Amino acid sequence: KSLLKDLTVNQISVSAEHVPIEALLNLITQIGEHKFDVVIALGGGSTIDLAKGLRVFNALGMRNHKEIVDFIHSPNTLDTPPCTQISIPTTLSGAEYTRSFSVTDFSNKKKLSLTESLCSSQTILYDPVATRDTPSQLWASSGVMALNHAIEVLVTSPPNMISDSLKLTSAANLLEHLPVSVGVLGSPNIDAAREFCQVASWMADHSPMRVRPRTSNPNILYGHALAYQIAAEYKVPYGLIAATTLVSCLRHYADRDRTLKNRIDQISSDLMRFQHNVSDQINEGESISLIDRVEHLIVQLSLPTRLRDVGVPKNGLDRLSFEFSNQNSHGSEPLARTLAERASQILNDAW
């Protein structure tokens, strides 16, 4: 604040998990016709996405629900670049470095996403001190979401030297430092551990490294895609969705696809090269599977492990499976049936 004392600053506190469209509209209305040169977003993924939405739709001059929804469905190039955004993340969601943002239309139970390079943060400040007031469960669960970003793409993508190196290092650092960062292991080096986690969250989803051959169809990321349905339907935080579904998704990949099982086995082996603080989990010379390590981490962090623990009812699983298949089948009925069946298996296992 002292650095900004000679500037005109409007400080706004907003709580907007999953960025409801109404929260974005309220913020746009609150800003009104005021001109601003920069937006500083201090908070978690929803806060940072809300800032992106404010900048984009302020630049477009859009002020109502229909305009915003219509533009996200059929986006045009931005003629006027949005103002600068400085992001100071307080969780491990990773929203600060993406070139997209999402809002949720809870009236229709849909998540809407817009990808536009101009909406990206121009400056990112990682400071573990800024995360000290973040609730422990929120911090820990956002770390599991970052782990999900790293692992699910790593498992389902063809091998790539650069991408694999980034994501494997990210996963290894999160597995090692996330428990320390919430004080689980009683270490005094919490700030240092949080800094490792912050860098790992960036490495987890480095978008330019999502390399796939042009001739192959990318595998569906069940964990990522199902999270959109669960969040829109039941307003469960993304971190808790990751904590309750990631293990089931990995089991599904291993059980249904020999190539993906081999990929998981290779990652399990590769992670042993980063072995520092897993001596309590395995004996010398033994290997521990990726799935077991993820499951152990979630329990170690005292996070919920089942969908039923976060408010998802058993009788809602079929609807989630249907919505998932409907949104990812591109109009193909055979594919829709396959996706619904597989989503149902994952959800029931996670429940």
The pTM score is 0.90
Is 167 found in the same domain as 119? no
What does the pLDDT read at residue 18? 87
Is 314 found in the same domain as 206? yes
> Is residue 129 assigned to a domain?
no
Last residue in a domain, options 124, 154, 173: 124
Which of 263, 287, 253 lies closest to 160, judged by CA? 263
204 pLDDT above the threshold of 60: yes
Q: Averaged over 231-252, what is the pLDDT?
A: 95
Task: For the chain, state the CA radius of gyration.
Answer: 20
Q: How many residues does the chain have?
A: 351
Q: Is 78 helix (H, G, I), strand (E, B) or coil?
A: coil
Average pLDDT taken over every residue of the chain: 88
- Name which residue leads in pLDDT, 335 or 211: 335
Is 104 found in the same domain as 176? no
Last residue in a domain, options 104, 124, 144: 124
Is 156 found in the same domain as 120? no
279 pLDDT above the threshold of 50: no
135 pLDDT above the threshold of 70: yes
Residue ranges making up the domain that contains 282:
135-350
Q: Averaged over 94-123, what is the pLDDT?
A: 88
Give the pLDDT band (50/70/90) at residue 106: confident
Is 59 found in the same domain as 100? yes
The CA distance from 121 to 61, in Å, is: 20
Is 108 found in the same domain as 73? yes
What does the pLDDT read at residue 216? 52
What does the pLDDT read at residue 341? 95
Is 308 found in the same domain as 216? yes
> Is residue 290 assigned to a domain?
yes
- Name which residue leads in pLDDT, 275 or 350: 350
> Is residue 130 assigned to a domain?
no
> Is residue 252 assigned to a domain?
yes
Is 276 found in the same domain as 171? yes
Is 172 found in the same domain as 27? no
What does the pLDDT read at residue 286? 58
Is 294 found in the same domain as 166? yes
Last residue in a domain, options 75, 96, 124: 124
What does the pLDDT read at residue 1? 66
Give the pLDDT band (50/70/90) at residue 44: very high
> Is residue 310 assigned to a domain?
yes
80 pLDDT above the threshold of 90: no
Is 159 found in the same domain as 303? yes
278 pLDDT above the threshold of 60: no
| Whole-number Cα distances in Å, 217 to 156, 211, 213, 220, 346 | 11, 12, 8, 9, 21
The CA distance from 76 to 86, in Å, is: 24
What does the pLDDT read at residue 209? 44
